[in-house]
Amino acid sequence: MSDLSVTLIQSSLHWEDTDANLKIFDEKIDSIKEKTEIVMLPEMFSTGFSMHPEILAETMDGKTIQWMRATASKKKIILTGSIIIEENGQYFNRLIWMLPNGQFAFYDKRHLFAYAEEHQHYTAGNKKLMAQVKGWKIYPVICYDLRFPVWLRQPPEEEERYDLLICVANWPASRSDAWDVLLRSRAIENQCFVAGINRSSTDGNHIYYNGRSAIVDPEGKVIIRKDKDESMIQYTLQKDTITDTRKRFPFLQDADHFTIQLKSWTK
């Protein structure tokens, strides 16, 4: 399998201002000079982590989707991040996986952050998204999902296992120690690369984010991490690293078989 080049854009966000956010990401993506195949943006990158979906939500043919389609096509990249979507009278914190040809897939955040009353405003998803790029299996999730290892656990069947876990987030600085540990834990237990992309600066609710976006290898070692300020991580992942780790430490073959029983939030 080929190596995979990824870019994580850690950025401050203009509070509930889609036009301003799309403009800054236009500039940041245009500044990428090295070859990259996947560009990752934070959770709710066009608005910040807002509980005002009735004001900010877009449709699946709205401004931000159109921007993602145009940007992915122009830069010949896969572009991903989550946005606020309205569909059939419900609101979703939805990750978009936009391909260069304009086709896309999506994932609705499964674990809604009740501590911030996210479950009072959004509908939880009930399906996983597994993408494939150059022979890599990639599993994207959103922020709070990172705390729930059962939802992220590798399947016991070898042919269904993923190679890269992507977590797009608005993870506050007050809990950054947990963020660091959870990124490493998910890498260790699933023997995969983990890419965690977080925002920086302070949002409209006066919550401070200190970034700490990172790439972690399949043994849980932090390859690269960016603290606090706006920054960009560009890195090429090597598939041999996964193959070698799983061969030397064949722990996944001893994993338990299990099923997940889904429940829905009651609004």
Residue 192: active-site member: no
Instruction: Classify residue 13 by burial, with Cβ atoms within 10 Å: 0-12, 13-18, 19+.
Output: buried
172, 208, 166: which is closest to 38 by C-alpha?
166
Catalytic annotation present for 109: yes
143 labelled catalytic: yes
What are the φ and ψ backbone dihedral angles of 123, each rounded to 5 degrees?
Answer: -100, 135
What is each CA distance from 129 to 145, 189, 212, 220, in whole angstroms? Answer: 13, 20, 25, 23
What are the structure tokens assigned to 156, written together?
């016991």
- What number of residues does the chain have? 267
From the list 16, 37, 43, 118, the catalytic residue is: 43
Pick the catalytic residue from 143, 167, 192, 226: 143
Determine which helix (DSSP H) or strand (DSSP E) holds 23, and give its type and residue range: helix 18-30
**Residue of 58, 109, 167, 192 with catalytic role:** 109
SS (H, E, C) 67-135: HHHHHHHHHCCEEEEEEEEEECCEEEEEEEEECCCCCEEEEECCCCCHHHCHHHCCCCCCCCCCEEECC
Cβ-Cβ contacts under 8 Å for 136 (sequence gap 6 or more): 1, 4, 163, 164, 237, 239
Q: Which one-letter DSSP state was computed for residue 255?
A: P
Can you tell me the distance from the alpha carbon of 259 to that of 249, in angstroms, rounded to the nearest whole number? 25
Burial class (CB in 10 A: 0-12, 13-18, 19+), 101: exposed
Q: Show which residues are catalytic.
A: 43, 109, 143
